[in-house]
Amino acid sequence: MRERVYLDWNATAPLRVEARDAMLAAMDVVGNPSSVHAEGRAAKAIVERARGQVAALCGCKPGEVVFTSGATEAASVLAGVAPHGAVFVDETAHDAVWAHVDHTHAEAGANVLALGIANSETGVLTKPAAPDDAGWQVGAYRATSLFLDVTQYVGRVAWSFHWSGAALACLSAHKLGGPKGVGALLVRDGLDIPAVQVGGGQELGRRSGTENVVGIAGFGAACEAAQRDLDDEVWGRVEKLRNILDSALAAEAKETILVGKDAPRLPNTSCFATPGWKGETQVMQMDLAGFAVSAGSACSSGKVKTPRVLKAMGLDDTAAEGALRVSLGPTTTEDEVLRFIEAWLKHEKKFRQRAA
């Protein structure tokens, strides 16, 4: 029996060896990072080392990194940085960003423009135009501040918080090969924001609660390893594998829509929609065939719902509900991609025969 093939890196990346080793070492450090004794200082040193590793990958200062439980918690800062209805969110943004705004009260003079640079479902990149003296213009909306969700982007494409012009950004460790349940909010130096979580005043009062030292250690190590991947141009090889997949589907599955194929995309992501063939059905069929793939974002607790992002990109309901996402990683092999192509096309042929 062949080993299973994991092709769902946008949901979560496998834990890196470097992250696991850092976490195991951190488990032996007993102190609370807020304590001033030697044991506490040892724990604090782990947190600060990781803060520097995250900052190095993100092109920011260590003091601009606020550790959170993940990108979702980091995005909750939107609820406090602008008055009700004063945040404009791009239609293709992740639910973690989208959920914090009452879209029935959006104002033309929004204080904050919030968007995701890379869509998790399609890999399509959305970069804001350069601001003018009055801020960012998006259609009828103008914003004076920018919030970026870089959860899928950072670590796969070189990026700098300082170059981006953003005031705030969010990311998660588990997309980089770090542990689940830890992430960061990036806050532009000098920007005063309400606490993401109130309490004991940790993280310079911006996120209270004892830091997850073990998770943070793994996060930092994953960021350092991700930077090495970028330096070694690992994602260029991954993109070639993604292109093999896209080309095979375009040649053999004529009625399948390759979503965003002509748009700038993440190097690892292929989203394709087959009208009438439910995405969740495809996921189950591929699972039984030994492949882990996804029908969309994995951050909805397994719920099947209307694909908002795909509809915003112009797909009708029938096509959007037939979407499948395949996301590759640095350890994905050409043989694994070819095996997936063979298995998926076999099921696609059966679907066509039943539909005829």
Indicate the pairing of strand 168-172 with strand 183-187: antiparallel
d(CA 354, CA 121): 28
State the catalytic residue, choosing from 60, 170, 271, 299: 299
Residue that is written with structure tokens 């694909």 in the block: 307
299 is catalytic: yes
pLDDT at res. 69: 93
Distance CA 26, CA 86 (A): 42
Alpha helices in 253-333 (DSSP H): 279-288, 308-312, 317-320
Contact 93, 149 (CB under 8 A): yes
- What are the φ/ψ torsions at residue 219 (nearest 5 degrees)? -60, -50
pLDDT digits (tens, 9 = 90+) for 171-200: 999 999 999 999 999 999 998 888 788 888
* Confidence class for position 129, pLDDT limits 50, 70, 90: confident
8 A C-beta contact, residue 254 and residue 306: no
Taking the CA of residue 100 as centre, how many other CA atoms within 13 Å lie in the half-sphere pointing to its CB?
28
Percent of the chain with pLDDT over 90: 66
Q: What percent of the chain has pLDDT over 70?
A: 91
- Across the chain, mean pLDDT equals 89
Higher pLDDT, 284 or 202: 284
pLDDT at position 142 is: 73
Q: Confirm if 12 and 298 have CB atoms less than 8 A apart.
A: yes
How is residue 214 written in tokens?
């073990």
Instruction: Calculate the dihedral angle through the C-alpha atoms of 63, 64, 67, 73, rounding to the nearest 10 degrees.
Output: 160
Least confident range of 96-105, 183-192, 283-292: 96-105
> Is the pLDDT assigned to residue 162 strictly greater than 80?
yes
Tell me what pLDDT residue 82 has.
63
Q: Which pLDDT band, with edges at 50, 70 and 90, does 301 fall under? A: very low
Q: Considering the domain 18-230 in this protein, what is its CATH number?
A: 3.40.640.10
Q: Is residue 115's pLDDT more than 60?
A: yes
Kindly state the tokens that stand for 301: 């607790």
Distance CA(115)–CA(103), nearest Å, equals 14
Task: Look at residue 305 in the predicted model and tell me its pLDDT.
Answer: 52
Distance of CA 225 to the CA centre of its chain: 17
- Mean pLDDT check: name the lowest of 132-141, 146-155, 224-233: 132-141
Cα–Cα distance for residue pair 342/336, rounded to 1 Å: 10
Instruction: Give the span between the Cα atoms of 272 and 295, in whole angstroms.
Output: 10
**Model pTM above 0.85:** yes
The arithmetic mean of pLDDT across residues 108-119, rounded, is 79
Burial 216-235 (b: 16+ CB within 10 A, else e): bbbbbbbbbbbbebbeeebb
Q: What is the mean pLDDT of residues 90-111?
A: 65
Assigned token pair, 20: 């696991």
Taking alpha carbons only, the member of 335, 325, 256 closest to residue 292 is 325
Query: What is the predicted pLDDT for the residue at 130?
Result: 80
CA distances from 202 to 7, 34, 44, 187 (A): 37, 8, 11, 15
What is the spatial distance between Cα 328 and Cα 236, in angstroms, rounded to a whole number?
12
pLDDT in tens, 224-252: 999 999 999 999 999 999 999 999 999 99
Nearest-angstrom CA–CA distance, 353 and 324:
20
Burial of 155 (0-12, 13-18, 19+ CB in 10 A): buried
Where is pLDDT greater, at 136 or 354? 354
Judged against a pLDDT cut of 50, whether residue 285 lies above it is answered with: yes
The order of strands in the sheet holding 112-116 is: 65-68, 183-187, 168-172, 145-149, 112-116, 87-89
Q: Which CATH superfamily is domain 5-13+233-355 in?
A: Aspartate Aminotransferase, domain 1 (3.90.1150.10)
> Looking at residue 89, what is its pLDDT?
77
Task: Give domain limits for the chain.
Answer: 5-13+233-355, 18-230
Whether pLDDT at 349 is above 60 = yes
Number of other residues whose CB lies within 10 A of the CB of residue 197: 15
